[in-house]
Amino acid sequence: MAARERDPTRIEDLLRQRTELDERLARYRRSFAVLFADVSGSTRFFDQRGDLSGVAMVQRFVDQAEPSIRRHQGRIVKTLGDGILAYFENATAAVRAAAELQQEFAGLNVARATGDRIELRIGINYGTGFVKENDIFGDVVNIASRLEELARPNQIVVSAPVGEAARAAGYGLAEVGPLELRGKGGTHPVYEVVWQVAGGAGPPHSYTLLVLDLSGAPTAEYPLLRAETLLGRREGDIRFPRDALMAPQHARFSLEEGALWAEDLSPTGVFLRLRQPVVLAAGDTFLIGKELVEFQFGGAGAGEAGWLLAGRKRFPISGQGLLLGRTQGDVTFADDPQVSTRHARVRREGRRWLLEDLGSTNGTYLKIRGRCRLEAGDVLLCGSQLLRVR
């Protein structure tokens, strides 16, 4: 049977429609910076305080954030539950607005009780997308959302173009590392903007590392007086020659713009104890007791689900997540006395997976990615040494 001939008129109509669509889209196409900001720990706030208090807290955040965004010629496109989406004509304006937001809320938090503080996670990207009426579209928006997911409380995480603009504007910049972004192939350069200023809100300018025993009592202290302090088993300013689990060069601590940073130099990792839930990225590893667990996103066709790898065992994540403990949970470690009965959980929040400690005795520790900004009270595990930042 002869192949059916194509209708040239139909093809011409499709080409003409495609050309008209491209011309219409071109009118909305432009380059701009996208800023996502959300309130860290809002889910827990709603759980503990109730919906009315939660809604009031989010509204306070939006009301206080809008003037800073407008002051830098930005525009809030929409509010997203506990967050906002805004765009700016250039990356420098977006960074300045983000830094102002962090400084403003850090100042307000000084006078607030711990449970009432509003701590922000911010992600910024710059690229080409579409601006139409009161909305923005394109991959530039998607990447900004992924960056915000990687941010810790009080952190501004940005893409490479935004990092260049931040450095040119005089902000400190720290490489978080080439990371996988959810839904994006390969790895992408990711940076953190140092928003603290001398004399302004943010960490103090003097830090000390306290070495803790198993009860949490300090046994030694090391003031961090230099721009860089190296920690290791055989090399460095702080040495633990009898710690077989510590690498010869294990970690580097840096003082920049009044902030303290930790950098992992070891093959085994530097682990930070969770103080609140954190967003997991593909390949993240964490410790509960003596158990090293790796998180991975699901493959093609697995939707938002993923799995945990513990030893040689693989535990698929489905539904709302997995509970980990010694005797209770979906994943149990009955032979590890350092794991609490109910120790931690991996749970879904929107399209993200979060790792949350459940008030365990010994804590849950997440391996840091590249360089990590530290805050007073943070506890690190390097080799078998517990270190607290003062």
d(CA 234, CA 240): 7
- Say how many C-beta atoms besides its own lie within 10 A of residue 268's C-beta: 14
Q: Residue 34: beta bridge partners?
A: 87, 125
Say what the pLDDT of residue 204 is: 40
Q: Taking residues 22-44, report their average pLDDT.
A: 78
Q: Model confidence over 148-199: pLDDT tens digits?
A: 988 888 889 999 999 999 988 888 888 877 776 776 667 778 898 887 644 4
Domain 207-269+368-389 and domain 271-367 have a common topology: yes
How far is residue 390 from each of residues 24, 204, 277, measured CA to CA in Å?
Answer: 57, 10, 22
Say what the pLDDT of residue 80 is: 80
pLDDT surpasses 60 at 5: no
Of 168, 199, 197, whose CA–CA distance to 257 is shortest? 197
Provide the pLDDT confidence category of residue 22 given band limits of 50, 70 and 90.
low
Q: Taking residues 334-346, report their average pLDDT.
A: 94
The per-residue pLDDT of the chain, averaged, comes to: 83
Domain map of the chain by residue range? 27-194, 207-269+368-389, 271-367
Say what the pLDDT of residue 265 is: 95
d(CA 93, CA 162): 10
Of 280, 248, 282, whose CA–CA distance to 364 is shortest? 280
Tokens of 158: 């940005």
Q: How many residues does the chain have?
A: 390
d(CA 82, CA 101): 15
Contact 224, 209 (CB under 8 A): yes
d(CA 299, CA 77): 32
Contact 346, 308 (CB under 8 A): yes
Question: pLDDT > 90: what percent of the chain?
Answer: 37
* CATH fold group of domain 207-269+368-389: Tumour Suppressor Smad4 (2.60.200)
> How far from the centroid of its chain's Cα atoms is residue 265's Cα?
20
d(CA 387, CA 133): 52
27-194 is classed in which CATH architecture? 2-Layer Sandwich (3.30)
d(CA 335, CA 180): 34
Please give the residue that has the higher pLDDT: either 166 or 137: 166
Provide the pLDDT confidence category of residue 321 given band limits of 50, 70 and 90.
confident
Helix (H, G, I), strand (E, B) or coil at 54: helix
Category of 383 on φ-ψ map: left (φ > 0), alpha (ψ -120 to 50) or beta? left
d(CA 200, CA 9): 68
Tokens of 35: 């800023």
User: What would the CATH number be for the domain defined by 271-367?
Assistant: 2.60.200
How far is residue 109 from each of residues 49, 60, 112, 323, measured CA to CA in Å?
Answer: 18, 13, 5, 32
Please indicate, yes or no, whether the overall pTM of this predicted structure exceeds 0.85: no
> Which of 131-140, 157-166, 320-329 has the weakest average pLDDT?
131-140
Category of 216 on φ-ψ map: left (φ > 0), alpha (ψ -120 to 50) or beta? left
pLDDT surpasses 90 at 45: no
Strands in 195-320 per DSSP E = 207-212, 218-224, 228-232, 238-239, 251-256, 259-264, 270-273, 278-279, 285-288, 291-297, 306-310, 313-316
Q: Model confidence over 292-317: pLDDT tens digits?
A: 999 987 654 444 467 899 988 889 88
> Which of 154-158, 221-225, 264-268, 290-294 has the weakest average pLDDT?
221-225
Tokens of 320: 């709302």
pLDDT surpasses 60 at 3: no
Q: Where are the alpha helices (DSSP H) in the chain?
A: 8-28, 42-49, 51-71, 91-109, 139-150, 160-168
With residue 78 as reference, give the H or E element that holds it: strand 75-80
Contact 191, 158 (CB under 8 A): yes
